[in-house]
Amino acid sequence: MAFQRKDFLLIAGILFLLIGLMGVGLAPIYSVIISITIYAGIKIFIGRRKKMIEKEVGEGICVKCGSKIENQKCPICDRKKS
């Protein structure tokens, strides 16, 4: 899976949560466990939602940018790759 700006924002949010949890006096190890659990939960949730969107849209519209898919390729995203 490619590293995206959304992932960076998620990690930043989790780090703030981690600092917050330690700030209220929770043991660092529990703070880390809670943060990782929430991070994994969010990642799974995003993955499922993405699959649901893909299922609903089919091959009509690109999930990433919303462009019309032609010949199973997005004219914008697939052009960037190559």
**Single-letter amino acid code for the residue at 63:** V
- Cβ 80 to Zn ion shortest distance, Å: 8
Residues in region 63-82 near Zn ion by CB under 5 A: 64-65, 67, 74, 76-77
Which 8-state DSSP code applies to residue 69?
P
Residues in region 24-63 near Zn ion by CB under 5 A: 62
Q: Which residues of 3-32 are buried (b: 16+ CB within 10 A; e: fewer)?
A: eeeeeeebeeebeeebeebeeeeeeeeebe
Which residue of this chain has its Cβ atom nearest to Zn ion in the complex? 62
Which residues here bind Zn ion, judged by CB under 5 A? Answer: 62, 64-65, 67, 74, 76-77
